[in-house]
Amino acid sequence: MTDSTQIRNIAIIAHVDHGKTTLVDQLLRQSGTFADHEKVVDTVMDNNAIERERGITILAKNCAVSWKGTHINIVDTPGHADFGGEVERALSMVDGVVLLIDAQEGPMPQTRFVTKKALALGLKPIVLVNKVDKPGAKPEAVVNAAFDLFDKLGANDEQLDFPVVYASGINGWSSLTEGAPGEKWGEDMSALFDTVLRHVEPNKGDPAAPLQLQISALDFSTFVGRIGVGRILQGTIKPSMDVVVMEGPDSKPIKGRVNQVLTFQGLDRVQVTEAGPGEIVLINGIDDVNIGVTITDPINPAPLPRLKVDEPTLTMNFLVNTSPLAGREGKYVTSRQIWDRLQKELQHNVALRVKETDEDGVFEVMGRGELHLTILLENMRREGFELAVSKPRVVFHDVDGVRHEPIELVTADVEETHQGGVMQALGERKGELVNMEPDGHGRVRLEYRIPARGLIGFSNEFMNLTRGSGLISNIFDGYEPHKGDIGGRKNGVLISMDAGEIFTYALGKLDDRGRMFVKPNDPVYEGMIVGIHSRDNDLVVNATRTKQLTNFRVSGKEDAIKITPPIDLTLEYGVEFIDDDELVEITPKSVRVRKRFLTENERKRNKKTGD
């Protein structure tokens, strides 16, 4: 058992893309975790396929390094507010946080989100200003901005007196003092390691007290079953030890026996004969282990309160796929299979809520935001699931008989030439300008408070308005009374009138009607949406039309039909694009959009009854 004074538990928290995962790579390398000859992949902590593709951290992960005889457990947390459930769980395991801030961008909304959580838990931050060697870096201004942010978030005097470390994560050096621009300020990461040892307090739990281990994450192994991950607050845990599992102070204890106890070393897990206060451990052998439960002593139980997680703000319906192409590409297609998969997700995705609806084969799934829900859908389709989903809707709260809706704080960094269009678009979506700050280099930062409803489907419009050069992020800011109606999609859609295969000839005839989602040889069916209409009304079109053959030859140039390349219909784009009467059909190989009612007669009938 490691002496608790020789253990430090830290979380590295930051905004998306400020270099957090790259920094952890360097800490692992420089602490001797990897042998000199070992080939190490970049962003070694982002081992999930979707994380690698998108360059974001989704799941909180653990690793450990040794520095000057001290065992440092590092938790790499997601920077996106949609994965707040992961952040909250990770922070429950640590005694200090390293807040990493980009030296050019400064504190961003997601920085605010994770920092607020950390300060509320009484954790003392170490501010790490990263990428200080970038052109345009403003380390001093960033430190001042961090102080202002802490002050706004209600930090106490101790938290405001934070140590500062300057670093270049990608180049592997850190420094306690600011150096000259363009020069190297430090040799290695020792300044950061030493600051962690000096400023993060070791756990003061008593190894002889009744065991208190709160489970903050779950894993699974086909050999040992469910694995619980958490930090020991007090007491000692050993393999083959009898324990009880409790969901809170008033819950009924459930008996269990620990099989194995493991700790982290580098990225590996190693079995130990016992573990004590401050250690982050993995245990198996207990079937009833869930996130938030306390593993405690059966004779003197000391359960902790369950972990609290912010409520979801967005909801979608997950439906069985009923399109004419259903069942061709997916392995799991029934309502029972979809329901079982969602129940499995609930075991570790604490920010998710799932419930059955009155309609057969329709489940309501609530999450933190579009990204949170679309990552779940992306995982499901990769596993072989086939389903349909509705347009996202916000979760309203009733406060004293008044309908309240979630409000988001949005930060948009745009070029000054695009500022007018972005401000107009956010204004139309009931956005309220809070702050506007030019950076002096042709870009401006806009801060808005806007109903969450107004952001559904906005990211594509934002990318078009800024020609792909804008950066936007948002964070939940609270509930306020309903802000009134917000206009929907401005364009109608092109709907296929029959089933078959798309022909180049048909696409050529439809090219001037709008932008298409389909390409030649794609299968279509009646009611499937094949493109965006250039006008504001829906139009039923013949997408399977072929050229009538005659006995007359024509010059070859007539056969060379020019068509505009189709829009790349991704899962995110589809979810943002659809209207209330439409669905996204998701299979392992395809993403399609369709009308909820496929035939024109059904749509007319439903419109009449709806009116």
Q: What is the pLDDT of residues 19-56, one digit of tens each?
A: 767 787 788 888 776 444 344 444 444 444 544 444 44
Q: How far is CA 474 from the centre of its chain?
A: 12
Lowest mean pLDDT among 79-88, 90-99, 324-333, 539-548: 79-88
CB 99 within 8 A of CB 146: yes
Residues 145 and 250 in one domain: no
Distance CA 307, CA 215 (A): 9
Distance CA 10, CA 121 (A): 13
**How much is the average pLDDT of 365-394?**
90
pLDDT band of 81, cuts 50, 70, 90:
very low
Q: Where do the H-state alpha helices sit in 224-265?
A: none
Long-range contacts of 351-354 (CB under 8 A, 24+ apart): 351/83, 351/84, 351/85, 351/86, 351/309, 351/310, 351/312, 352/85, 352/312, 352/376, 353/312
Distance CA 525, CA 597 (A): 12
Check the annotation: does 161 bind a ligand.
Answer: no
Distance CA 128, CA 496 (A): 55
Average pLDDT taken over every residue of the chain: 83
Residues 70 and 126 in one domain: yes
Strand ranges inside 452-508, DSSP E: 471-481, 493-496, 500-501
Check the annotation: does 482 bind a ligand.
Answer: no
Q: Which amino acid is at 460?
A: N
Domain boundary among 244, 263, 296: 296
Check the annotation: does 441 bind a ligand.
Answer: no
Who wins on pLDDT, 180 or 611? Answer: 180
Residues 93 and 230 in one domain: no
Distance CA 305, CA 288 (A): 17
pLDDT at 132 over 50: yes
Distance CA 536, CA 518 (A): 20
pLDDT at 80 over 50: no
Lowest mean pLDDT among 74-83, 184-193, 391-400: 74-83
Check the annotation: does 130 bind a ligand.
Answer: yes
Distance CA 509, CA 500 (A): 17
Nearest to 248 by CA among 287, 304, 289, 286: 304
Distance CA 580, CA 389 (A): 11
Grouping H, G, I as helix, E, B as strand and the rest as coil, residue 552 is coil
Check the annotation: does 200 bind a ligand.
Answer: no
CB 494 within 8 A of CB 533: yes
Domain boundary among 267, 296, 325: 296
Distance CA 10, CA 90 (A): 9
| Residue 459, number of CB atoms within 10 A of its CB | 17
Q: What is the pLDDT of residue 110?
A: 62
Q: What is the pLDDT of residue 2?
A: 61
**How much is the average pLDDT of 361-368?**
91
Lowest mean pLDDT among 111-125, 136-150, 441-455, 493-507: 111-125
User: Per mean pLDDT, which of 69-73, 273-277, 386-390, 499-503 is the most reliable?
Assistant: 386-390
Distance CA 599, CA 277 (A): 65
Q: What is the pLDDT of residue 269?
A: 84
Letter string b/e over residues 540-551, b meaning 16 or more CB atoms within 10 A of that residue's CB: bbebbbeeeeee
Q: Who's near 551: CB < 8 A, 6+ residues apart?
A: none
Q: Which CATH number is 64's domain given?
A: 3.40.50.300
Residues 166 and 217 in one domain: no
Per 3-state DSSP, what percentage of the chain is helix, strand, and coil (rounded to 5)? 25, 30, 45
Check the annotation: does 372 bind a ligand.
Answer: no
Pairing state between β 61-67 and 387-389? unpaired
Task: Please report whether residue 217 resides in a domain.
Answer: yes
Q: What domain range is 56 assigned to?
A: 4-199
Residues 166 and 266 in one domain: no
Check the annotation: does 131 bind a ligand.
Answer: yes
Residues 45 and 194 in one domain: yes
Residues 254 and 126 in one domain: no
Residues 468 and 510 in one domain: no
Domain boundary among 155, 170, 199: 199
**How much is the average pLDDT of 562-591?**
89
Distance CA 18, CA 124 (A): 20
pLDDT band of 116, cuts 50, 70, 90:
confident
Task: Please report whether residue 555 resides in a domain.
Answer: yes
Q: What is the pLDDT of residue 553?
A: 53
Residues 150 and 239 in one domain: no
Distance CA 228, CA 62 (A): 13
CB 470 within 8 A of CB 418: yes
Check the annotation: does 348 bind a ligand.
Answer: no
**pTM score, whole prediction:** 0.71
Distance CA 549, CA 137 (A): 66
How many domains are contained in the chain? 4
Distance CA 202, CA 3 (A): 10
What is the DSSP annotation of 574-585?
A: HHHH--TTEEEE
Residues 509 and 467 in one domain: no
pLDDT band of 546, cuts 50, 70, 90:
confident
pLDDT at 127 over 80: yes
pLDDT at 223 over 60: yes
Distance CA 37, CA 31 (A): 15
N- to C-terminal Cα separation, the chain: 70
pLDDT at 385 over 90: yes
Q: What is the pLDDT of residue 48?
A: 46
Q: Which CATH number is 427's domain given?
A: 3.30.70.240
CB 84 within 8 A of CB 16: no
pLDDT at 204 over 90: no
Check the annotation: does 542 bind a ligand.
Answer: no
Task: Please report whether residue 154 resides in a domain.
Answer: yes
Check the annotation: does 358 bind a ligand.
Answer: no
Grouping H, G, I as helix, E, B as strand and the rest as coil, residue 319 is strand
Q: What is the pLDDT of residue 161?
A: 93
Pairing state between β 443-451 and 471-481? unpaired
Please state, in angstroms and as integers, the Cα–Cα distance from residue 57 to each residue in 170, 483, 528, 536, 595, following that order: 17, 33, 35, 39, 34
Q: Which CATH number is 222's domain given?
A: 2.40.30.10
Residues 477 and 419 in one domain: yes
Lowest mean pLDDT among 42-46, 172-176, 207-211, 476-480: 42-46
pLDDT at 556 over 70: no
Grouping H, G, I as helix, E, B as strand and the rest as coil, residue 435 is strand
pLDDT at 187 over 80: yes
